[in-house]
Amino acid sequence: MLRADGQPAWIKEYNGYNECPYLPPWRQHLAQAYRRVLQDVGPKAMYIDELGATDGRWSCYGGDRHGHPGEVIPYRGELELMQAIRQAAGPEVPLYIEYPPSEAARHVLDGAFSYYAIWGQDQAEAAPHFVNLSRFVFPEFKTFHILSYATPRAGNWYHFKVPFFNGEGYDVGEPGLAAMDPDCLAFLRRVLDIQTRHREAFAGRDVEPLAPTLQAGVFANRFSAPSETVWTLFNTTGRTVRGEILAAPHRPGAAYRDLWSNSPLQPRLDQGRAMLALELPPQSVGCVAQRTNGR
C-alpha cells in the first residue's frame, strides 16, 4: 500500500509492509502460500490476519498504479483475495479473519474476530444491550470477541457479558497478561458450560435478536433448535429485577430451566404462554431454556 505522500506503507510495529490486495500477483502469492501450508501442515482452520478493517490505517493511495481509483480502503481487493484463498483451501477448511467483513465476504468466509464488545462501550447509552445484529442476520458466520487487552480483575470485565448475550465466542489468550481474577474465571466457566451443553440452539439458524420481554431495561435474544429454545437475558438497569421476565409460547410437555443457576422453573401458564419468573441482579446476564421432545 502507498501513503498519501506516495511512500510505501511501512508498519513499524510489524517491521514490515502492508501489501495492496488489488494487485493480482500479491493475491496469487498468498493463495499459493495457503495452499502449500494446507498441504504441508493440514490445519483444521486457517486465519487471514487484519482483513475486514474499516478505518484509515488500511487506506491505499496507489490509484492507477494498483488498479483502483484514488484513495481506497481496499474492500473489493480484499474480497478477491478471500475468494482466491477460498479456492486454494477448498470448501471444507474454515477461514476466518480479524474483523467482521462486509456482507459479500461473509459468503466466502466462516468467521472473524471482533472488537465489538470493547469498542461498543462508547455506544452503551444508545444501545445498552450491545446486541450484535449482524450475528443474527448471518447466524452461520461465527464471531469470536477479542477481550483481553486489560487484565480481567476488580470488576473491569463487564464487556465479557456481551458475547454471551449474543451467543458468540471468546478470545481471551493475550500473552503477558496477569492471571484472570476468580470471579471472571467463574463467569467464563459458566458461560462455556451453557454454550457447549446447548450448542445445537446457539449454533442454529433459528435465532431472534431482542425478543420481547416483560420488564423495562431487560433484554433477551432467542436461539432455537428442534428440541429446545434458549433465551439469553441482560438486565441493563441498576437494580435487581424480580418477577416475570419472559412470556414464552408454551408447548405441551415442555420443561423450563434457569440455566444460569441450573435450577428448574415452574412457569405460570396464561393463554398459551409460559410466564417465566426469575431474579436478575443489576447489570447481569442470565439464561433460560424451554425443553421439548421435538416440534
pLDDT in tens, 254-283: 999 999 999 999 999 999 999 999 999 999
Amino acid at 186: A
Q: Are 246 and 273 in contact (CB under 8 A)?
A: no
Chain centroid to Cα 285, Å, comes to 17
Q: Cell 477481550 maps to which residue? A: 147
| SS3 state of residue 66 | coil
What whole-number distance in Å separates Cα of residue 91 and Cα of residue 215? 45
- The DSSP secondary-structure symbol of 58 reads G
- The DSSP secondary-structure symbol of 214 reads S
Mean pLDDT rounded to a whole number for the chain? 92
Q: pLDDT value at position 145?
A: 93
Instruction: Kindly state whether residues 20 and 134 are assigned to the same domain.
Output: yes
Range(s) of the domain holding residue 192 = 10-202
φ/ψ (deg, to 5) at 197:
-65, -25
Cell matching residue 84: 482466491
Q: Residue 186: pLDDT above 50?
A: yes
Q: Residue 295: pLDDT above 70?
A: no
Cell matching residue 61: 493511495
Q: pLDDT value at position 119?
A: 83
Instruction: Kindly state whether residues 24 and 106 are assigned to the same domain.
Output: yes
CB proximity list for 63: less than 8 A, separation 6 or greater: 69, 70, 71
What whole-number distance in Å separates Cα of residue 8 and Cα of residue 65? 13
Q: pLDDT value at position 294?
A: 47
174 pLDDT band (50/70/90 cuts)?
low
φ/ψ (deg, to 5) at 206:
-85, 85
Asked if the structure places residue 1 within a domain, the reply is: no
Q: Tell me which of 153, 170, 202 is where a domain ends.
A: 202
Instruction: Kindly state whether residues 94 and 139 are assigned to the same domain.
Output: yes
- β 10-11/263-265 pair status: unpaired
Instruction: Kindly state whether residues 215 and 197 are assigned to the same domain.
Output: no
Q: pLDDT value at position 175?
A: 63
Instruction: Kindly state whether residues 54 and 173 are assigned to the same domain.
Output: yes
What whole-number distance in Å separates Cα of residue 186 and Cα of residue 168? 18
Instruction: Kindly state whether residues 123 and 251 are assigned to the same domain.
Output: no
